[in-house]
Structure 1
Amino acid sequence: MVNPPPVLSTVPTDTWVVADWEDILTFADDPTLVSGRFYYDEGCMRIEMSPIGSAHSQDNSIVSTVLVLYAAIRNIAIKELTNPNLRKARLQEAQPDIAYYVGKNLRFPPRNNAPVNLSELDPPTLVVEVAASLEDDTTRKQKLYQRMGVQEYWVVDVNASKVIASYLTPTQSQLIRESQVLPGLDINLVEEAPKRAQNEDDGTISRWLIATLTQQ
């Protein structure tokens, strides 16, 4: 007799719980969790089911615009992945809001619908999480991305229109106010864009960004 798959009520969401690697694969196939985002690290799993509101969506979009326009104007190679599934089998799993491969000799994942296999592929250079509650994003998730090999990690605080940016090494993290992987990008400029987005449309903000960056 085949055991039925677990149902949503068997696992708490939006919190870390002890789990085996097989658990996260099983829950990922659960149709009741199709809209969930999955994280796994050091034998613990987190399934996020919190609704994503307008503030989250707008800040996600405008931060993406800032990064891509900056890279284009500064002639920096960049590849953006929106809500990718990053996986190092049996060790780590994450689904950040945005991830970027940045820099010379850019190598990014092939175009398919499989999780990004970090056992065979390089991790993203920069990961961005957009959050209204910062406790997990600035602690446990940061450690997760650090272990994955991500070089730079940003948490966008939608309530305060702030960006908490960290440069990561395998053993340390350092708060920064200028990006190290997108040289010269001032975090103050990144923070200004979501503030403007509260009253301005995306086209207006894009024109402001282009004018500002081309004058620097």
Structure 2
Amino acid sequence: MSLSLNPIRSIDETWVPATWDEYLRALKNSSQVKSKGYYTHGRMQVDMQLPISFDHGSDQSIISLAVNLYSILKGIPFRELDNCSFRKTAEVEFQPDLAYYVGSQATAIPSGTGIIHLETYPVPNLVVEVAKSSLLDDRTVKRVLYEDVGVAEYWIVDVESAQVLAYQMSDRGSLRIDSSLIFPGLDIALLNETLQRSRHQDQSQVGAWLMAQFQGASESGIQPT
């Protein structure tokens, strides 16, 4: 997510040329207020965050709910991280809305870790950015960032259209996918319908519907609402 006081600013204006030390100083100077920082290819983005909108917060929680339910019901080991900092010193930093370590990497990060240093720990398997006013940025600069660091899968939640744009990353490139490879069998179309249902149903109703889809209505005894 990248929020700014002026939503019509171009990407070039939100990403500022900077050395690593200049980036760290900018983070330190912004430490008195809530902010998010990204650094890649000698450019930084340090944004003072406006209050998160209802739609942004709701969509982020719905995607989290869907992934968590699916993983639990299918027995997939996972670790969800919310707004954590991932850093490779002097090269890159990113603070995605959601990140997931899956399978054998679910326990890769020990308790007590602050910033996740990528010289020591692996990159997350999946990164999720929720785009309320930052869709172009998330589809371009940040997508290249996640390609470069070796994230396996990248999702952009487009709040305005209530859909997920999902990408498989490989060989510093990316390809749109219709079904998750990190969570096998989880179709992106189902996530899209989940977001659309959340526009007029509460999360308990949405969760019950999801469980029925994941387990099968006859098996779970839960009827879609």
In the alignment, does 2:78 pair up with 1:60? no
Deviation of the 1:25 alpha carbon: 1.2
Question: In structure 2, do the counterparts of structure 1 residues 160 and 105 end up closer, same or farther at CA, with 3 Å as the change threshold?
Answer: closer
Equivalenced residues, count: 205
Distance in 1 (alpha carbons) for counterparts of 2:75 and 2:149 = 27
**Secondary structure at the residue paired with 1:87?**
strand
**Secondary structure at the residue paired with 1:27?**
helix
Paired position in structure 1 for 2:146: 145
Paired position in structure 1 for 2:128: 128
Cα RMSD (Å) of the superposition? Answer: 1.9
Question: In structure 2, do the counterparts of structure 1 residues 153 and 195 end up closer, same or farther at CA, with 3 Å as the change threshold?
Answer: same
The amino acid of 1:64's aligned partner reads S
In the alignment, does 2:42 pair up with 1:48? no
Deviation of the 1:29 alpha carbon: 1.5
Question: In structure 2, do the counterparts of structure 1 residues 14 and 60 end up closer, same or farther at CA, with 3 Å as the change threshold?
Answer: farther
Deviation of the 1:171 alpha carbon: 2.4
Deviation of the 1:111 alpha carbon: 2.1
In the alignment, does 2:20 pair up with 1:21? yes
Deviation of the 1:32 alpha carbon: 5.9
Distance in 1 (alpha carbons) for counterparts of 2:13 and 2:215 = 42
8 Å Cα contact 2:27/2:46 also seen in 1 = no
Paired position in structure 2 for 1:111: 111
Determine what percentage of the aligned residue pairs are the same residue: 38
Distance in 2 (alpha carbons) for counterparts of 1:33 and 1:146 = 32
Distance in 2 (alpha carbons) for counterparts of 1:110 and 1:34 = 27
Gaps of 5+ in 1: 1-12
Deviations 1:19-44 (A, max 9, x none): 01011211212246631110000100
**Secondary structure at the residue paired with 2:90?**
coil
Distance in 2 (alpha carbons) for counterparts of 1:14 and 1:71 = 39
Distance in 2 (alpha carbons) for counterparts of 1:183 and 1:138 = 23
TM-score under structure 1 length normalisation: 0.89
Deviation of the 1:197 alpha carbon: 1.2
